[in-house]
Amino acid sequence: MRRLLLLTVLLAPSPLRAQAGPIARVDSLLAAAQLAPAVTLVDQALAATPRDFEVLWRSSRVRLLQGDAAPEKSKAQDKLYRDALALAERAIKVNSTAPDGYVRRAAANGKVALFAGILEAADYVLQAKDDTEKVIAMRSVPPVTLATAHYIFGRTHLKLTETPRPLRMPLGLGFGNAAEARTHLKRATELRPGFVMFQLEYARALLANNEPGEARAVLLQLPSLANQELGDDTRKREGEALLRTIKDASR
């Protein structure tokens, strides 16, 4: 029996072993808005174990957050987003059955597309769509990961509605619509309640669907929510500004 147990441990895929390792500290560091130590940790882990799935997808997430922190529309920001995409691609090659690699690739593709412009980066948008749909269709996806997939897909729909549909259709982007944005972003908030990023985007989707009362109720909750992600203070300020527009429109 002991020999069988030892064999099982030795043959277990590296992602399962890595989950108990120090790389998991990245999650708590990012939740505490400590990006610099998270960067150091993933850089060290990548150098030591460049083919570890848990290291790769977390490194992709960290690179994306570094990109968010870089100057807007700078070469540095573009490079960091593309580095995040490359790391997600590597993660999927190591483990093509786990959802995390696809979620990270979808997130990176979305950032690359926003940087380049939706109409100039249709292939990136379509890849993000495919990856999020893939994760949503998987079984036994952890709620937080599934929530992120719904958020990315919902936000993709919402961003696409900012461009007239006739301009999008020839590029295969005619699928984007406000109703689907609302559906997926609502699901994201259900799977991960109290998460500032998801609540703010859901409020925007409600406004896009002409539901200002519901959007106002969601936005009023933002100030009392705990910060759990880099940029949450900025998102709360954006929510306050959005709330003022609703109040002004109702006068």
pLDDT digits (tens, 9 = 90+) for 21-48: 789 999 999 999 999 999 999 999 999 9
Cα 51 to Cα 83: distance, rounded to the nearest angstrom: 15
The average confidence (pLDDT) of the chain is 92
Q: What is the pLDDT of residue 12?
A: 34
Cα 103 to Cα 124: distance, rounded to the nearest angstrom: 13
pLDDT exceeds 90 at position 3? no
State the Cα angle at 81 between 177 and 169, rounded to 5°: 25
Q: What is the pTM of this model?
A: 0.91
Average pLDDT over residues 126-139: 98
Residues 6+ apart with CB under 8 A from 42: 23, 26, 55, 58, 59, 62
Cα 184 to Cα 190: distance, rounded to the nearest angstrom: 10
Q: How confident is the model at residue 10 (pLDDT cuts 50, 70, 90)?
A: very low
